[in-house]
Amino acid sequence: MFRIFSIFGNEFNFEAMARTKEFNEDQALDKAIEIFWHKGYNGTSAQDLVTHLGLSRSSLYDTFGDKQKLFSKSLQRYQQQAQDTVKELLEKSDNVKETLHEIFKQAVIESLEDRITKGCFMVNSSVELAMHDEEIAKIVKSNSQTMEEVFTNAVKKGQEAGHISKTLDAKVLARFIFNNYSGIRVLARAGERNKQVYDDIVKAVFSVL
Amino acid sequence: MFRIFSIFGNEFNFEAMARTKEFNEDQALDKAIEIFWHKGYNGTSAQDLVTHLGLSRSSLYDTFGDKQKLFSKSLQRYQQQAQDTVKELLEKSDNVKETLHEIFKQAVIESLEDRITKGCFMVNSSVELAMHDEEIAKIVKSNSQTMEEVFTNAVKKGQEAGHISKTLDAKVLARFIFNNYSGIRVLARAGERNKQVYDDIVKAVFSVL
DNA sequence: ATAATAACAGAACGATCGTTCCGTTATTTA
DNA sequence: TAAATAACGGAACGATCGTTCTGTTATTAT
């Protein structure tokens, strides 16, 4: 911070630095994602955050403002990470159908492995908050749009390469894929542990492509 | 209530009735469904319940025990109502594919009409509570199983009548249908208002049947 | 060394949470 | 009418909520 004193026409510039942060902000955000993802917004208390992030109440509030702002930042960070992963996989791929299949298989594996069943942070937040919090609604909407674009471009590529049926429009298929992805995440959050259920759904989904 | 006093071998049976309830328990439950559905469990306060159900705190607690019990009862009542509707429609139907289409179209209409976007009470509760509350988890699981059975029987009937493709097993298709139904309800809860999005999903789903 | 100040730890705040308690009212049987 | 008692209205409870305040510590430029 800078303070400039102007006395009798002369300017004195005092700069004084203070203590450095003892934690990494992004690492703290990742911890916040973990606990919000697991317990939801209303289910996570300020004390939960203090305990889980390992920093004091004052540092938490000094750094992130309040609970709502911290949640919002966490969800945005999660969105960025998740989107980047899928986007890169599909853009690099030269067999989009196969890559999409891998993405779904991965979602199934995560759903079964997940000892503390978390589902998808975006889906969870959407269900819990989208209708009560405009900022969260915006993030959810932005995520849906981006994912729709990513899937649409991928399907188009697959259709041009002859890997995916042209019977249905790319956008139709993109929305269909996204819908089943959401459904699977809800299933996981509900605690479904039967692999056959997931496999059946994936089988039916890919019978369309 | 009955009190039986036994004095010197003689039994005296005193029955004294008290004030009658000024509200209907099922109607109160329906109101509870409304507000829990809209705001979720954690988002609904005891005061919300008092205000919305229109009865006093004491009556509320005397009648339903506590918040968790009231929620549980509400969800069970919702489940029964929703299941009965779908089950009856499909069992009466002589063109199951068409009836399923009607059910999905109805879900789309509700999603678009819903000014206070509620999604599906079962899906919402599943996402919010299933992993933190065993009793809710049981209800969710029971609902999934019943719906899977209902859809499986329906698909079998459709396949035997030649209305639905036999390419995929009835159970596979049932799980696929249920998954897309969940997805659509999440979309609604997220505030999606574009009919085309829903129509595209339904179109893709029914291209499989 | 001193002044300046952000980061920190933790006590404390008012508000709201879910729940219980108490005194009154209304209804029924004896 | 009298006795019994569930239903009722509303005050009150302790606990916990999210947030703020206070005082201390650590770091840096002067």
* A46-94 per-position pLDDT tens digit: 999 999 999 989 999 999 999 999 999 999 999 999 999 999 999 999 9
CA–CA gap between residue B54 and residue A152 (Å, rounded): 49
pLDDT, one tens digit per residue, over A174-189 is 999 999 999 999 999 9
For the residues A10-20, what does the mean pLDDT come to?
Answer: 51
Q: Distance (Å) from CA B20 to C1' C27?
A: 7
pLDDT at residue B21, rounded to an integer: 74
pLDDT, one tens digit per residue, over A136-151 is 999 999 999 999 999 9
- Minimal Cα–Cα distance from A124 to chain B, Å? 6
One of 1.10.357.10, 1.10.10.60, 3.40.50.720, 3.10.620.30 is the CATH number of A21-203, namely 1.10.357.10
Dig out the tokens for B78 from the structure: 């919702």
Facing A208 at nearest CB: one of B130, B137, B208: B208
pLDDT at residue B137, rounded to an integer: 96
CA–chain centroid gap for B2, Å, is 37
B197 contacts on A by Cβ (under 8 Å): 175
Neighbours of B97 (CB within 10 A): 20
Mean pLDDT of chain A: 90
Q: Give the three-class secondary structure for B12.
A: strand
pLDDT band at A17 (very low <50, low <70, confident <90, very high): low
pLDDT at residue B20, rounded to an integer: 75
Q: Report yes or no: B80 and B29 within 8 Å, Cβ to Cβ.
A: no
Q: Which protein residue's Cα is closest to nucleotide C25 at C1'?
A: B19
C-alpha radius of gyration, chain B, whole number: 22
Facing A179 at nearest CB: one of B126, B171, B187: B187
pLDDT at residue A116, rounded to an integer: 78
Positions of chain B with pLDDT lower than 70, given as ranges: 1-19
Q: Is B135 exposed, middle or buried (0-12, 13-18, 19+ CB in 10 A)?
A: middle
**Has residue A3 got a pLDDT over 80?**
no
Dig out the tokens for B117 from the structure: 């976007």
Nearest-Cα residue of chain B relative to residue A175: B201
The CA dihedral of A188, A191, A197, A198, to the nearest 10 degrees, is 20
pLDDT at residue A19, rounded to an integer: 67
pLDDT at residue B94, rounded to an integer: 94
pLDDT, one tens digit per residue, over B139-197 is 999 999 999 999 999 999 999 999 999 999 999 999 999 999 999 999 999 999 999 99
pLDDT at residue A8, rounded to an integer: 31
Cβ pair A190:B127 closer than 8 A: yes
A173 contacts on B by Cβ (under 8 Å): 204
| C-alpha distances out from residue B146 to B38, B89, B143, Å | 24, 15, 5
For chain B, the domains span: 2-206
Q: Is A82 exposed, middle or buried (0-12, 13-18, 19+ CB in 10 A)?
A: middle
Q: Distance (Å) from CA A34 to C1' D17?
A: 21
CATH superfamily to which B2-206 belongs: Tetracycline Repressor, domain 2 (1.10.357.10)
Dig out the tokens for A158 from the structure: 């697959």
Q: Report yes or no: A70 and A64 within 8 Å, Cβ to Cβ.
A: yes
**Alpha helices by DSSP H, chain B:** 25-39, 46-53, 57-64, 67-92, 96-113, 121-129, 134-160, 170-189, 195-206
pLDDT at residue B16, rounded to an integer: 56
CA–CA gap between residue A94 and residue A194 (Å, rounded): 32
Portion 124-183 of B in contact with A at CB < 8 A: 124, 126-128, 130-132, 137, 140-141, 144, 167-169, 171-173, 175-176, 178-183
Facing A190 at nearest CB: one of B39, B130, B200: B130
